[in-house]
Every structure is written in structure tokens, then in C-alpha cells.
């Protein structure tokens, strides 16, 4: 139950942060949606409050992930791991190998099944859809 609440809060943070990086006027960011604030407060209370959320040390989840590549959907068995709220890793098992996406603070790395490595910088990670956590 605590994990679901943490996922909800993290998802919200990743949805809010990209707005800042897209150069929107400060007035658009400063406006608050009372209903959204209420939902966030309810989610935080349901998870045990800020103290419980802050005490998350690590988590692991297993499931499936769907990638949308070149107009086709591809599914894989996925393992998600995290340490605190700053470190995240997704391993997707494909027949030809494992695709790894890892992020820590403001840097990220993708390793393809073929072994190719691609680095991501902080601004790219703020809008990465994959960081909304499954």
C-alpha cells in the first residue's frame, strides 16, 4: 500500500517538473489547482504521511512493460528497482537480451540488448515518460 502511494506521488512530481523545464511563464506554474492539491494531500495521508514517504529506502517490482517503437507495440517482462526516490532502474527482458534503463539524480543510461550505451542528461530525464514509474 505504501508503494502505491509513493508511486502516485512520484508520478505527480514527474508530471509537474517537466512544465518548469519547458519554459512556461512562472505565472502558469504558480497557479494551484485546489482539487489536485486535495488529491495529493489525500494520497500522502493514505500512505502514512510525509514521514512514511520519506522513510522509503528501496523497492522492487516485477511485471510487464510495453514499448511503442516505430508504430508497433513490444512487450517484455520487466523488473523495476529503486533506492529512495533518486535512483531508478528498469530491466526489460527481450528474447535477444535485456534492455536496461537506469537513472540516478540528474543522469541516466540506457543499455540496449546489443550492448550499446546511451547517456541522458538531467533536462532529458525531467520529461522521460519512463520515470513515471509503473
Give mean pLDDT in consecutive 10-residue pieces for the chain, a chain of 134 residues.
45 44 48 83 82 77 89 92 84 94 86 91 59 47
Q: What pLDDT is recorded for position 2?
A: 43
Q: What pLDDT is recorded for position 63?
A: 92
Q: What pLDDT is recorded for position 62?
A: 92
Q: What pLDDT is recorded for position 131?
A: 52
The answer to whether the predicted template modeling score (pTM) of the entire model surpasses 0.95 is: no
The residues, ordered by sequence, that sit 6+ positions from 51 with a Cβ below 8 Å of its Cβ are none
Residue-range domain boundaries for the chain: 2-54, 58-132
- Report helix angle 2-21 to 34-46, nearest 10: 150
Q: Are 58 and 43 in contact (CB under 8 A)?
A: no
Amino acid at each position: 500500500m505504501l508503494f502505491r502511494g509513493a508511486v502516485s506521488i512520484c508520478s505527480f512530481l514527474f508530471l509537474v517538473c517537466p512544465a518548469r523545464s519547458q519554459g512556461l511563464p512562472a505565472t502558469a506554474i504558480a497557479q494551484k489547482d485546489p482539487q489536485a492539491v486535495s488529491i495529493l494531500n489525500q494520497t500522502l495521508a493514505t500512505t502514512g504521511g510525509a514521514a512514511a514517504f520519506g522513510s522509503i529506502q528501496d523497492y522492487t517490482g516485477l511485471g510487464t512493460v510495453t514499448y511503442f517503437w516505430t508504430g508497433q507495440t513490444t512487450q517484455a517482462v520487466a523488473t523495476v528497482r529503486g533506492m529512495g526516490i533518486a535512483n531508478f532502474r528498469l530491466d526489460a527482458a527481450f528474447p535477444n537480451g535485456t534492455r536496461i534503463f537506469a537513472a540516478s539524480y540528474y543522469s541516466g543510461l540506457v543499455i540496449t540488448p546489443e550492448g550499446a550505451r546511451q547517456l541522458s542528461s538531467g533536462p532529458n530525464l525531467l520529461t522521460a515518460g519512463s520515470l513515471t514509474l509503473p
